Amino acid sequence: MIQITNEKKNTFIIAGAFVSVLSLSILSANMKSEDVCKAKAMSGIIAKADILTQADIRSEELLSLEEHSVALSLAVPESIYDGKILVNLSDTDVLNIRMEASEESEIVGKIYGMSYGDLIESCGEWTKITSGEVTGFVKTEYILTGIAAEDKAISYGKEITKTAITKEEYDQMLADYAKAQEERKAAEQAKAAQSTAVSQTQPTQATQETTVVESTSNNATSYDDEYLLACLIEMEAGGECYEGKLAVGAVVVNRRNSGAFGSTIYDVIYAKGQFPGAHNGLLDKRLAKGPSDSCRQAAREALAGVNNIGNLVCFNNVRYANYSKYKEYKIIGNHIFYR
């Protein structure tokens, strides 16, 4: 992380005074010492000029070229970005880091705008940098160093904390983002589908007390358990996800196993007051038409002991749930399974 303080900003003002003094010293190379003093006085910086002279140099002597060089180095303010780079792009833009100084070279990393790194060497159009765990070449035109980088960082107004990431990390980040977008889209579609299914489905409660007309079908007993259960699942949860279908099958098997609703799949399904569709002709229609493959599979697994609801024996549409009366419950799709 790179921080810039107010003290650092003030060095720019002091540096200006040093440069002014240095320029005065160079211009006075052919003047006598007393003329130099007059010139210094006219510029109002005698005290500042004294900083650039050596204590052991006589008043008549002028600064040597070597001393001018030393003075120049003192006059140029140091920057916290000396030896570092700042990516001069928006913080949402990304700059490629390549293995070699060529646009044809392999990309080894990515660095976002307003991120920083260390400058290794400048090669004209390309600059070699290291940032984070990535070392490689970036286009020189997109980076700043020294005072220019520092000025940019000050105007940015935020702490500079980001460094480069590897190409693999960047690709994984894109993949994660794409996956999240797909999941969000799928969730929105599922929610819309559920809303449509709920609006088209009449409330069903396996344990509700109701007066029904007994089915006149004489063929129900001729179906095997798997087919009969699959048709019930289709009737009750045909529009649900597979887990919802399996859960309805598990309710029927749990009831059979408990013995409280009958000892066979047929007994459970046709128990009085449990599944209205079994008595009003709806199940008969489904038995004649046949179940979907997914409902067959759910019935087969439920009868084989696959159970995703534990010991729950009732279910209802979530819109009609009465949570305060449930000892235990689980919501799958549009149904709540409970006991």
Residue 249 and residue 290 in contact, taking contact as beta carbons nearer than 8 Å: no
301 domain residue, yes or no:
yes
Is residue 258 within a helix (H) or strand (E), and if so which, with residue range? helix 242-258
174 domain residue, yes or no:
no
204 domain residue, yes or no:
no
108 domain residue, yes or no:
yes
Copy the structure tokens of residue 63.
């600064």
Identify the domain boundary among 32, 53, 75. Answer: 75
Higher pLDDT, 17 or 241: 241
The DSSP code for 221 is G
In this predicted structure, the answer to whether residue 51 has a pLDDT above a threshold of 70 is no
Q: What number is the average pLDDT over the span 144-159?
A: 92
Instruction: Note the pLDDT of residue 173.
Output: 80
Q: Indicate if the alpha-carbon torsion angle 102, 103, 106, 109 is positive or negative.
A: positive
Instruction: Note the pLDDT of residue 208.
Output: 42
Residue 86 and residue 144 in contact, taking contact as beta carbons nearer than 8 Å: yes
Copy the structure tokens of residue 88.
């001069």
Q: Is 217 left (phi over 0), alpha (psi -120 to 50) or beta?
A: beta
CATH of the domain at 111: 2.30.30.40
pLDDT digits (tens, 9 = 90+) for 157-170: 888 888 999 999 88
Q: List 112's β-bridge partners, or say none.
A: 94
243 domain residue, yes or no:
yes
| Domain co-membership, 59 together with 118 | no
| Domain co-membership, 89 together with 70 | no
What range does the domain containing 142 cover? 84-168
| Domain co-membership, 32 together with 92 | no
Q: How many domains does the chain have?
A: 3
Q: What are phi and psi of 17, to 5 degrees?
A: -65, -40
Question: Could you give the residue ranges of the DSSP H alpha helices within 76-216?
Answer: 146-156, 167-200
CA distance 26 to 276: 106
| Domain co-membership, 251 together with 279 | yes
pLDDT digits (tens, 9 = 90+) for 181-233: 777 778 778 877 777 766 665 554 444 433 333 333 445 566 889 999 999 99
| Domain co-membership, 154 together with 256 | no
Identify the domain boundary among 75, 101, 118. Answer: 75
Three-state SS at 116? strand
| Domain co-membership, 235 together with 319 | yes
60 domain residue, yes or no:
yes
Q: List 165's β-bridge partners, or say none.
A: 110
Identify the domain boundary among 53, 75, 97. Answer: 75
| Domain co-membership, 160 together with 251 | no
CATH of the domain at 318: 1.10.10.2520
48 domain residue, yes or no:
yes
| Domain co-membership, 300 together with 260 | yes
| Domain co-membership, 229 together with 333 | yes
282 domain residue, yes or no:
yes
Copy the structure tokens of residue 285.
């229609």
Q: Confidence band (pLDDT; 50, 70, 90) for 180? A: confident
pLDDT digits (tens, 9 = 90+) for 245-302: 999 999 999 999 998 888 999 999 999 888 998 989 899 999 999 999 999 999 999 9
Say which range, 17-26, 95-104, 299-308, has the weakest mean pLDDT.
Answer: 17-26
- Give the CA-trace dihedral at 214, 219, 220, 225, to 10 degrees: 180
| Domain co-membership, 231 together with 315 | yes
Copy the structure tokens of residue 288.
């004649």
Copy the structure tokens of residue 68.
């001018």
Number of neighbouring beta carbons within 10 Å of residue 152: 16
CA distance 113 to 164: 10
Higher pLDDT, 5 or 155: 155
Residue 291 and residue 233 in contact, taking contact as beta carbons nearer than 8 Å: yes
| Domain co-membership, 225 together with 264 | yes
Closest CA to 142 of 194, 102, 86, 92: 86
Question: Could you give the residue ranges of the DSSP H alpha helices within 29-138?
Answer: 33-43, 46-52, 65-75
